[in-house]
Amino acid sequence: MTPPATLTLILIMTLAYSVARYHVFGDVPWAQMPLYVMNKAVSWTGLTLLALAYLRRDKPAARDLGVLGLFLTGAHIAMSIALLSPAYYAKLYGGARLTATGEGAILAGVAAAAVLALPALGTLPGVREALGNARWLRWQRAGYWALALTAAHCALLGGKGWFAPETWPAGLPPITLLSFLTAVSPLAWKLRRRTAA
């Protein structure tokens, strides 16, 4: 399956899950589907593409998946900035200001995006030659740190709800939990390969 087809399939699946969890079985008004609920699908899809990029052995396909994942990550950041307010993210706020957990969640997300810039820049023509193989590989491996920071971002955003399945609409797990598992999958796979070597 080509990277664009992979993106389309995953986005359809994550959007269907988001709509089911928040609209069909949850109590989020349909008016919030274009940005609030779509943002959840976009962020989860972008993260899934990034995770797949580190699990694929086909290097050109992995690069393309990573670039598409980065693009959706940028869309997620823009959508989140537009939505960032106590009205949408009450759990992150104490009054008009972000709580320490809220600030930590945003910091982890910003740090993940910043670190992700290294492997992204490494895909540009001529960068590998300019850096040399050793440094270029370090830049590519920085993506694992971005995934770890993303996992922290997800845990800070929704970790409290992970241990209250009775509150999950129709028993559907929170997207922050599913995203956390998506982010740590390549890290677990790399750790397993390292310990098996």
Question: How confident is the prediction along the chain (197 residues), in pLDDT tens digits per residue?
Answer: 899 999 999 999 999 999 999 999 999 999 999 999 999 999 999 999 999 999 988 888 999 999 999 999 999 999 999 999 999 999 999 999 999 999 999 999 999 999 999 999 988 889 999 999 999 989 999 999 999 999 999 999 999 999 999 999 999 999 999 999 999 999 999 888 778 76
Least Cα distance to 39 among 19, 62, 59 occurs for 19
Q: Is 94 helix (H, G, I), strand (E, B) or coil?
A: strand
Q: Is 74 exposed, middle or buried (0-12, 13-18, 19+ CB in 10 A)?
A: middle
Q: Which two tokens stand for residue 111?
A: 């740090």
